[in-house]
């Protein structure tokens, strides 16, 4: 299964634009959300993405809280989440993985690192070796301090004096140095958050300003280009019109010259000359001779065919006459033979009768 669909969650337009261009160059479809709340609403109303790129520090719900919410929902718990942050310590990366983060993408993202991360994610998805979803409590949300300092140790204050309880062995006494350290950490975290918000706002303003400037520049360039093209088209039409007129004039002059030359030749020849008439007479004579020979040949062939047809017809009639005569002769001979036989029998009978009378 290839990674083709990504959800990019970041409150900075500049960061979203930069990372989206890197992902789109890999033929990935990118959907973007400007806050963690918007990302959760997107997951509830759209098809689930193949991967989520989650910003670490965002106003409102931060990246860790959004990760806990996504991993706590059975419908989205198995979506791999890559957290985008400027923190690079190994302890922070380990703590982030405990919240269900698949990997850490440092800001600003680099092409080579993104390629390696997506290749490893594709391998893990196809092999089914994604890390298991951690168990997430549905209690209070993660505090802002835990979000920005996941690698910091927890500090517990000693109980008030006179409480009557023994101090726990792991309690740390509250000293001025510890208070100063906590204050510095809180101030640093607040400054970092505020600086991140200001930089994001500044980048967004600069991005919007640059986009407007680019749009205006493109519009001006399009207007200038259209004007130049129109001027060029008019110039071409003007030059073409003059060229058409010049060509038509040259053609008319050339035709006029040729017609004049032809007229002169005809006037000099005065029609058919004696040589032309002689050639025409010879041609007519040759045609007549050819026609006469053709008709004579055709007539002789017709006469010969008529003679052959007459001969064949006469021979057929003679043969039929002979056959009829032979058949008639045969019929007459048969009748004579019959009469002779009858006469012979009669004479023989009379002789027998006469002999019988004499003998009797």
Note the pLDDT of residue 244. 72
Could you read off the pLDDT of 335-344 as tens digits, one per residue? 777 888 787 7
Distance in angstroms (rounded) separating the CA atoms of residues 61 and 43: 16
Average pLDDT value for residue range 232-249:
77
Positive or negative, the CA dihedral 155, 159, 161, 166 is negative
% of the chain exceeding 70 in pLDDT: 79
Closest CA to 19 of 105, 104, 79, 93: 105
**Residue of 32 and 156 predicted with greater confidence:** 32
pTM score: 0.45
% of the chain exceeding 90 in pLDDT: 17
Contact 148, 192 (CB under 8 A): yes
Biggest distance spanned by C-alpha atoms of the chain? 206
Note the pLDDT of residue 155. 36
Note the pLDDT of residue 154. 33
Note the pLDDT of residue 300. 80
> What is the three-class DSSP state of 5?
strand
Note the pLDDT of residue 150. 43
Could you read off the pLDDT of 181-201 as tens digits, one per residue? 777 777 776 786 667 667 766
Q: Tell me: pLDDT of 151 over 50.
A: no
**Residue of 243 and 140 predicted with greater confidence:** 243
Q: Tell me: pLDDT of 110 over 90.
A: no
**Residue of 54 and 99 predicted with greater confidence:** 54
Note the pLDDT of residue 29. 94
Could you read off the pLDDT of 119-141 as tens digits, one per residue? 999 999 988 888 887 765 544 44
Q: Tell me: pLDDT of 52 over 90.
A: yes
Instruction: For the chain, give the mean pLDDT.
Output: 77
Note the pLDDT of residue 112. 87
Note the pLDDT of residue 354. 74
Note the pLDDT of residue 152. 41
Could you read off the pLDDT of 265-314 as tens digits, one per residue? 766 665 556 677 777 777 778 777 776 777 778 778 878 887 788 778 87
**Residue of 119 and 238 predicted with greater confidence:** 119
**Residue of 350 and 27 predicted with greater confidence:** 27
Contact 70, 41 (CB under 8 A): no
> What is the three-class DSSP state of 281?
helix
Contact 105, 117 (CB under 8 A): yes
Q: Which of 13-17, 92-96, 198-202, 336-340 has the lowest mean pLDDT?
A: 198-202
Note the pLDDT of residue 135. 64
At CA 21, angle to CA 17 and CA 26, rounded to 5?
150
**Residue of 135 and 99 predicted with greater confidence:** 99
Q: Tell me: pLDDT of 157 over 70.
A: no
């Amino acid at each position: 299964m290839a990674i083709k669909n990504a959800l990019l969650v970041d409150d900075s337009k500049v960061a979203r634009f930069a990372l989206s261009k890197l992902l789109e160059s890999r033929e990935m479809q990118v959907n973007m959300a400007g806050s963690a709340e918007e990302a959760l609403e997107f997951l509830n109303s759209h098809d689930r993405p193949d991967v989520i790129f989650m910003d670490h520090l965002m106003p409102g719900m931060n990246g860790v809280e959004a990760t806990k919410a996504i991993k706590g929902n059975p419908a989205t718990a198995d979506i791999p989440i890559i957290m985008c942050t400027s923190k690079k310590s190994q302890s922070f990366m380990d703590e982030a993985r405990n919240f269900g983060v698949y990997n850490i993408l440092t800001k600003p993202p680099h092409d080579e690192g993104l390629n390696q991360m997506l290749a490893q994610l594709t391998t893990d998805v196809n092999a089914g070796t994604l890390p298991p979803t951690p168990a997430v409590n549905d209690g209070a949300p993660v505090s802002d301090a835990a979000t920005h300092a996941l690698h910091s140790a927890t500090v517990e204050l000693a109980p008030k004096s006179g409480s009557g309880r023994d101090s726990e062995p792991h309690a740390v006494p509250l000293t001025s140095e510890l208070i100063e350290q906590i204050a510095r950490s809180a101030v640093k975290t607040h400054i970092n958050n505020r600086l991140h918000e200001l930089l994001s706002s500044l980048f967004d303003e600069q991005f919007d300003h640059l986009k407007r400037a680019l749009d205006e520049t493109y519009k001006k360039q399009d207007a200038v280009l259209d004007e130049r093209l129109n001027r060029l088209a008019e110039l071409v039409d003007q030059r073409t019109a003059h060229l058409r007129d010049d060509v038509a004039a040259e053609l008319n002059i050339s035709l006029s010259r040729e017609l004049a030359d032809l007229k002169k030749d005809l006037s000099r020849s005065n029609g058919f000359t004696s040589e032309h008439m002689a050639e025409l007479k010879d041609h007519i004579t040759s045609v007549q001779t050819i026609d006469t020979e053709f008709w004579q040949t055709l007539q002789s062939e017709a006469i010969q065919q008529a003679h052959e047809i007459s001969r064949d017809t006469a021979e057929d009639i003679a043969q039929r006459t002979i056959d009829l005569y032979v058949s008639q002769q045969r019929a007459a001979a048969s009748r004579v033979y019959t009469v002779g036989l009858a006469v012979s029998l009669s004479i023989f009978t009379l002789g027998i009768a006469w002999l019988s009378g004499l003998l009797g």
